Structure 1
Amino acid sequence: MSLNLDNLVDKDYRGKSINEILAAPPSALLGLSPRHDEALAALKITSVGDLGKWQHAAHAQALVTLAHAEVAEAGSDA
């Protein structure tokens, strides 16, 4: 299977495999910089994979997803 991940990553990581990107520092993601790497390292997040598995990010994503359902449900009661 081939995926185009170029819109997700910095130019230096375009064309890399998913495993290579997961092993890369967070700054491999488009919009993050080496300064973000430093801040995330303080949380023991040193790779894109670490960031993706970070439980607090997963919890935040779940809340964002659930918020859409809550708004839709509240609107249907009116």
Structure 2
Amino acid sequence: MTDIAEKLNKAYEEKTISELADAPVSALQGVSENDAKLLEDAFGIRTVRDLGTNKYFRWAQAVANLAD
């Protein structure tokens, strides 16, 4: 969990994986409230789970992995 905790804002470092999945994307370090609003407006992404399962992000990750 420490590897994941380093990628979270302090308020979320002690949360369980289930709680993190349902946390707002702003729980991730470097994602501001404004960034979260833009993700919601553009893709309907509200939670970390939404971000991780978004089809466009998955497609982009697959392309990047294949390119490596």
Choose between structure 1 and 2 for higher RCO, CA contacts under 8 A separated by at least 6 residues: 2
Segments ≥4 residues shifted beyond 3 Å: none
Gaps of 5+ in 1: 69-78
Between Structure 1 and Structure 2, how many residues are aligned? 66
TM-score by length of structure 1 reads 0.79
Task: Find the aligned partners of 1:7 and 1:67 in 2 and give their Cα distance.
Answer: 28
Amino-acid identity (%):
35
Larger radius of gyration, structure 1 or 2?
A: 1
Opposite residue 53 of structure 2, the aligned amino acid is: K
In structure 1, what is the Cα distance between the partners aligned to 2:39 and 2:31? 11
RMSD between aligned alpha carbons? 0.9
Structure-2-length-normalised TM-score: 0.90
Partner of 1:12: 11
The alpha carbon displacement at 1:32 in A equals: 0.4
